[in-house]
Amino acid sequence: MLRRISAVRIAAEGLWRHLRDSIGAGRAGRRTRIADRDGLRHFLQSRASMVAQSSLYGYLRTRAGTRFPELFSHEEFSKSIDVAKWNLWLACLADLAAYAGGLLAHRVPGNEAEIRHLIVGTVEAVLGAEGIPQGAGGDFPALAERLRARLAACDFRAIRDDESAFIESPAALVHWAPVLEDLKRLDEEIVRNSVRFRWQEVRRDLRANLDAPALLESARPAAAKT
CA distance linking residue 151 with residue 90, whole number of Å: 12
Q: Taking residues 62-72, what's their average pLDDT? A: 74
Residues 6+ apart with CB under 8 A from 219: 36, 37, 114, 117, 118, 121
Statement: residue 23 has pLDDT above 50: no
Residue 109, CA atoms < 13 Å, CB-side half-sphere:
4
pLDDT tens digits for 5-15? 333 333 444 44
Integer CA distances (angstroms), 103 to 49, 89, 168, in order: 20, 21, 18
Statement: residue 223 has pLDDT above 60: no
Q: Taking residues 52-71, what's their average pLDDT? A: 84
Between these two residues, 31 and 155, which has the higher pLDDT value? 155
CA distance linking residue 52 with residue 48, whole number of Å: 6
Side chain identity at 114, as an amino acid letter?
E
Average pLDDT, the chain: 86
Residues 6+ apart with CB under 8 A from 135: 79, 82, 83, 86
pLDDT tens digits for 168-192? 999 999 999 999 899 899 999 999 9
Between these two residues, 141 and 23, which has the higher pLDDT value? 141
* CA 221 from centroid of its chain's CA atoms: 29
Are the beta carbons of 45 and 28 closer than 8 angstroms? no
Query: CA 210, 211, 214, 220 torsion: positive or negative?
Result: positive
Q: Taking residues 45-50, what's their average pLDDT? A: 96
pLDDT computed for residue 76 by the predictor? 82
Statement: residue 22 has pLDDT above 60: no
pTM, two decimals, is 0.85
